[in-house]
Structure 1
Amino acid sequence: MHYLSTRGGIAPIGFTDAVMMGLASDGGLLVPAEIPQIDPPTLRAWSALRFQDLALEIMTPFVGNEIPRHELKILIESAYSSFTHPEITPVIKAGDLNILELFHGPTAAFKDVALQFLGNLFEYLLARDGGQLNIVGATSGDTGSAAIDGVRGKSGIQIFILHPKGRVSPIQERQMTTVLDANVHNIAVRGTFDDAQNIVKALFNDLSFKSAYQLGAVNSINWARILAQTVYYFYAWGRMTGGDSTQQISFAVPTGNFGDVFAGYLAKRMGLPIDRLIIATNRNDILTRFVNTGIYAVGDTVYQTLSPAMDIQIASNFERYLYFLYDGDAAQIRALLADLQTTGQLTVDAAHQAQVRIDFDAKAASDVETLAQIQATEAASGYILCPHTAVGVHAAQNQSNCVCLATAHPAKFNDAVQNAIGREAPLPSSLQGLMEKESRCIELAATVDAVKAHLEEALSPTTR
């Protein structure tokens, strides 16, 4: 399997180079040159597999021969050994709802599914090939803690996570800042998530700096993140259908950076019988507006909502979807992104807009609707939704045979839960005692220069 850039500026590379490169050196995102096709007999055979065994089957064609199969199996088994549910990502019933619970990993969020694997993968590749990796990432909440947990204490790796000061939940902040391993560096930037993400992208686009400081990515721009998340769409379909390839199901996906729903899109392109992929957004509804109008227009304000991981204007994985929407026409992608850069918006033509509406549905939820959904679901079934999951459940209304992705444990957002149902969700063991632990974090201006100076100081030979 070879990987290309959405912007067409690199020669084809293998899986290992794609993982270590993160963001393509031409500023684009890495995508597979071809998408493996899974036939109905294989789908039936996969439908009864354990999550770990299914992950091995799905990942193998994307990895190729770069990692021996038995070693890839060890990486996968190790990645999910810390999950508290034997099914890893179980599908449960909550009244009339089908909920795909993605929060049974060590940081109680769906990001663990990919980042426990990616942390192991980084460590394996560095041990095999040598070198040092300095991870730089931006988080709107859950990515940071999951990435930190995935690489804490691992040799050859330093991790620097930027989060927007005051714009993540208190528990999310403490999950990151109470990890005191020497290779973990937390940075609170005085700005929004988009500011933090733009800083990270600027650092990766500075190719001399990226090379000199051996920067790597854990955000969903890293292809391995998308690949790992694709597994649970196949897993949920198998549990819902018993492997009957004539049965389609839909998925409602709380969406910010477009990585999670793009993983579902990839699964569908591989042959998984998916009916509708429903993009669920909050007041920051740039993706909903795009699906409904064909215009991707950046607003003036990133609104602070009860679902902070979705408080995003620029969805970093959206470029991957555009690439497949335009059948791999990198020149067209460059033109569309140039429009976005100069005017703040891009527009797809009528024919491509029609395809967008085939690929996705989309619906936005206000904070009022989010709280109402938490309350209604708890009243009907006793099940407590996190606010992000509630946005997805709201978007799934009137959809039949639909699975709603539960992206985080509700206790991570107990202010919203308390507001909705008058009590807090019980804390899982992984979240207990966080507020009493010692923490470590520095605060910086939301500028490239400030973050670059900090990296240079932290990574200089005299301070390591």
Structure 2
Amino acid sequence: MRYISTRGEAPALGFEDVLLTGLASDGGLYVPESLPHFSLEEIRSWRGLSYSELAFNVMHPFVDDAIPADDFRKMLDDTYSVFSHQSVAPLVQLDANEWVMELFRGPTLAFKDFALQLLGRLLDYVLEKRKQHVVIMGATSGDTGSAAIEGCRRCEHVDIFILHPHERVSEVQRRQMTTVKGDNIHNIAVRGNFDDCQRMVKESFGNQGFLAGKTQLAAVNSINWARIMAQIVYYFQASLALGGPDRSMAFSVPTGNFGDIFAGYLAKKMGLPISQLVIATNRNDILHRFMSGNKYEQHQLEHTLSPSMDIMVSSNFERLLFDLHGRDGQAVKTLLENASKGPVSIEDYRWKHARKLFDSDAVDDKGTCETIREIYEQNEYLLDPHTAIGVRAARNCRRDSSVPMITLGTAHPAKFPDAIAESGLTVKPQLPAHMADLFERDENYTVLDNNIAGVQEFIAKHWKNA
């Protein structure tokens, strides 16, 4: 399996190098040169498998011979054994043919654990084999940071630097990152928004001179292909649990950076019958505006009750654009260069092709709170604000009520008590036992100005072998 850049100018790489490289040297994102494809008969034969067994079948073609099969199986068994539910990603029914898939049963209570618990083990394996040390640099709008730190904190060959927007993540999200102890863990609160943090990460990957050639950066954001690869699995899991592949499924995905829903798009291309993918966004609705009106235009970023989706530059959308343009890297590069200067559209036939699968909706804070309250009153089931947006979008965009609609439940409601309170409910979501003392733990983080030179100087001074 080889991987190519969405901008067409970087060299093709194998899995190990893609894992460690993150962003391609031409500024693009890596995607597989070709996708594996599974027949309905093969997918049908996976019914009854454990989550880790299913994950092996779906992901092994992407890893290929980079990791021996037995080693990869053990890695997957270890990864998903730390989840709190036996099925790893349980389904909860809300209404007739309407479901939430709980992706928050991992150690940091967010869907990011599915990929980042695995990514830490992959990095440890490859770096030990290579006797190499790397610096992880990542940006988080809330959940990636804690999942990355939890997944990688025991890795002997990494230092972790996570940037988050100062005072723009929930208190639980911040404390999950800043209370983890370790000489290799560094939390940086940037006086800016998530897009500022993400831009610093991308620019740093493009020019790593501040590390003076002593080490290299590795990515934990969804620019890293391994993140996307791991997220494909739970689409197969949900389908098989509800009668797939002998019936089609629809999914609604709360998304800001487009990675989680892109994994669903890949699952369909790999043979899983999916009839609809709903892009669910908040007021930061650049993806909705594109999918509903073929206009990609950045607006001012707004702070909302669903902070993990307070994103205006959706990195993984580039991967979809690459496919929509017939895998023409130069066309993608030109389009994104133009998008940095003003609004852009794509050819009408390309946009209409995307609309065959994708629908979208944008839900404001008022609609988010209404949905949290409505679902609780109907089912005594508490949604976090991101999942609430997914449920609302699913109901607004659903094409066919006979097709199961599955909303990806992306985070535990206890991470967002302010949103629950804002919805008018008096119920207070409780943190699980392993986090019961979270507010008593000491925090450790550094607040820095929104300045890339200052951030890079901090990293250069504080990584282990600096």
Identify whether the pair has TM-score above 0.5, normalized to the shorter chain.
yes
Give every structure 1 segment of 4 or more consecutive aligned residues whose post-TM-superposition deviation is greater than 2 Å.
Answer: 94-97, 207-213
Question: What are the Cα deviations for residues 175-218 of structure 1, in whole angstroms up to 9, with x where unaligned?
Answer: 00001111100000000000000011110010444654311000
Aligned partners of 1:184, 1:208: CA distance in 2, in Å? 22
- In structure 1, give the amino acid aligned to 2:339: L
1:411 is aligned to 2:414: yes
Residue 203 of structure 1 corresponds to: 204
3-state SS of 1:296 partner: coil
1:374 counterpart = 2:372: yes
Is contact 2:120–2:152 with CA below 8 Å preserved after alignment? yes
What pairs up with 1:63-462 in 2 under 5 angstroms? 63-96=63-96, 97-209=98-210, 212-241=214-243, 243=244, 245-299=245-299, 301-341=300-340, 343-397=341-395, 399=398, 400=401, 401-420=404-423, 421-459=425-463, 461=465
Answer whether contact 1:25 1:207 (CA < 8 A) is retained: no
- Aligned residue for 2:26, secondary structure, equals coil
Q: How far apart are 1:11 and its partner, in Å?
A: 2.0
Please tell me the residue identity of whatever aligns with 2:116: L
Deviation larger for 119-128 or 42-51: 42-51
Counterpart contact for 2:275–2:357, Cα < 8 Å: no
Cα displacement string for residues 19-61 of structure 1 (whole angstroms, at most 9, x for unaligned residues)? 1111111110000000111101011012321110010011111
Measured on the aligned residues, the alpha-carbon RMSD in Å equals: 1.2
Distance 2:196 2:249 in 1: 37
Amino acid at match of 2:362: A
| Distance in structure 1 (CA, Å) of the matches to 2:333 and 2:268 | 25
Equivalent residue for 2:12?
Answer: 12
User: Using a 3 Å threshold, how does the CA distance of structure 1 residues 237 and 365 change in structure 2: closer, same or farther?
Assistant: same
Deviation at 1:306, TM superposition (A): 0.4
Alpha carbons 1:249, 1:402 under 8 Å: kept: yes
Between 185-194 and 150-159, report the one with greater CA deviation: 150-159
Where structure 1 has 5 or more consecutive residues not aligned to the other structure, the ranges are none
- Give the percent of matched residue pairs that are identical in Structure 1 and Structure 2: 45
The one-letter code sitting in structure 2 at the alignment partner of 1:408 is: A
How many Å separate the matches in 1 of 2:435 and 2:370? 25
Normalised to the residue count of structure 2, the TM-score between the two structures is 0.96
- Matched positions, count: 458
1:209/1:323 Cα in 2 relative to 1: closer, same or farther (>3 Å)? farther
Runs of 5+ consecutive residues of structure 2 not aligned to the other structure: none
Q: 1:64 to 1:209 in 2, by over 3 A?
A: farther
What SS does the corresponding residue of 1:295 show, helix, strand or coil? coil
Which stretch shows the higher mean deviation, 344-353 or 176-185?
344-353
Alpha-carbon shift at residue 349 of structure 1 (Å): 1.1
SS at match of 2:378: helix
Contact 1:107 / 1:430 at 8 angstroms: preserved in 2? no
Q: Distance in 1 between matches of 2:344 and 2:34?
A: 26
Q: Give 1:419 deviation, angstroms.
A: 2.2
SS of 1:86's equivalent in the other structure is coil
Whole-Å Cα distance in 1 between the matches of residues 361 and 7 of structure 2? Answer: 29
